[in-house]
Structure 1
């Protein structure tokens, strides 16, 4: 049975008389995730979170629509990691400009980019697009930063770590290799103090910071942790979908 809030599944019979308040565009990446997780990890996570959150919002009356996930992201620091696919930020801008042109023309004036990849950064792109499309409300979220992970996981990390491994054990366990094949996810830190402290930034050359492409020890991951975290993320994200769909974007501040 098709889900009316998922564009790839719904149909013209349903949509020709529908009025959508908020479009959600999951944006992911195709890249190595340690030894044991699939290249599609970010896409699986972002798509599942978008669709489950939209279900929550739709069932509470919010007219939301999940667009097909963009499976490629900014991977400029991983050019020597085999088949890690890259879209430049300028390409992302062009894609978004074309898609927003469609939404704006058809009266869908709210767009959320649901970001599922740490290498994507949409702030400057949204600043530029907001000048071009004055009728549009454009925002993005980064779901890995939504919740305090200490309440769900034992070991901190940020790529193919305990959190992501737990999510994939919940969402797509058939794509996760046996635990004996998991890498340690050990990360080498920048020798310059300012970069380690986070108030200066330079791109991390991935093959120099990690032997297995992971950053964060996945060894404590479990399906149960992933299911609990997924549910909490979707409940919070679903409420955000509702809030944006129902908001008067010309009257957001008090």
Structure 2
């Protein structure tokens, strides 16, 4: 049993223990090019939260990692077979229910470890913060924690070299030969402001990419994945430690 993972814990251990921080990994179920599993974001969330949690726990962080939520916002992928969409309003309700339990039981620090680009929890936590003013609410995107250019050659943001390398390291048995992968070519928006990234509209996935990937994965390998995994879990564990150490009224210097 890893005591920092709720799914592995038991009542004998927890009936007399109280955590400072609860971490909720949140993934998605969606196609990842031709060569990657639909559960890519879930596998990443599971592994990164568990390893970062271990590193933080061994340095004194009193935290629990909640089971991963497997569905995310996939509203732009309605025509991609079995991409399971969870609307933001549903995510809000789930968060409210979880925070109600944590708040009632005295856990006042909460972090969402987001593993899917379509999820955006900031506005939800703004609103929920008014309902739970005694709680400290955080969200992070692990895939934005590091400069990917230091680890990978090809740019991308979905089933790309980075994600492929990670899953090749974590679950090589689930990745097809890279000769089976599409090139992850992305069509750019016809709207200049969107191309310049100061305007936004949701991408219609099947019109942007023919293979559901964005970013060429064909230079990926498990060695790159391990190097990135080790570095990103170091970074996420630092965040967990900082949140555990944070005190209300002393968050700003």
TM-score (norm 2): 0.99
Query: What CA distance in whole angstroms lies between the structure 2 residues aligned with 1:95 and 1:237?
Result: 23
- Aligned partner of 2:131 in structure 1 is 132
**Stretch deviating more after TM superposition (242-251 or 225-234):** 242-251
The structural deviation recorded for 1:17 is 1.3
Unaligned runs of 5+ in 1: none
Counterpart secondary structure, 2:6: coil
The structural deviation recorded for 1:5 is 0.3
**What does 1:199-218 align with in structure 2 at a 5 Å threshold?**
199-218=198-217
Counterpart secondary structure, 1:138: strand
State the number of aligned residues.
253
- Aligned partner of 1:229 in structure 2 is 228
**What does 1:81-230 align with in structure 2 at a 5 Å threshold?**
81-230=80-229
Counterpart secondary structure, 1:249: coil
Matched, 1:76 2:75: yes
Query: What CA distance in whole angstroms lies between the structure 1 residues aligned with 2:244 and 2:164?
Result: 32
Query: What CA distance in whole angstroms lies between the structure 2 residues aligned with 1:153 and 1:249?
Result: 39
Query: What CA distance in whole angstroms lies between the structure 2 residues aligned with 1:179 and 1:73?
Result: 26
The structural deviation recorded for 1:47 is 1.1
Query: What CA distance in whole angstroms lies between the structure 2 residues aligned with 1:19 and 1:215?
Result: 42
* 1:40-70 residue CA offsets vs partner (Å, 9 max, x unmatched): 0000001110010000011111111000000
- Aligned partner of 2:25 in structure 1 is 26
2:178 touches 2:217 (CA, 8 Å); kept in 1? no
Show structure 1 runs of 4+ deviating over 3 A: none
Query: What CA distance in whole angstroms lies between the structure 1 residues aligned with 2:158 and 2:248?
Result: 34
2:166 touches 2:226 (CA, 8 Å); kept in 1? yes
Counterpart secondary structure, 1:233: helix
* 1:95-139 residue CA offsets vs partner (Å, 9 max, x unmatched): 000000000000001000000000000111001100011111111
Query: What CA distance in whole angstroms lies between the structure 2 residues aligned with 1:197 and 1:35?
Result: 29
* 1:190-209 residue CA offsets vs partner (Å, 9 max, x unmatched): 11111111001000000000
Query: What CA distance in whole angstroms lies between the structure 1 residues aligned with 2:238 and 2:28?
Result: 25
TM-score (norm 1): 0.99
**What does 1:9-88 align with in structure 2 at a 5 Å threshold?**
9-88=8-87
Query: What CA distance in whole angstroms lies between the structure 1 residues aligned with 2:168 and 2:97?
Result: 36
Counterpart secondary structure, 1:8: helix
Query: What CA distance in whole angstroms lies between the structure 2 residues aligned with 1:208 and 1:176?
Result: 25
The structural deviation recorded for 1:179 is 1.5
The structural deviation recorded for 1:249 is 2.7
**Stretch deviating more after TM superposition (239-248 or 68-77):** 239-248
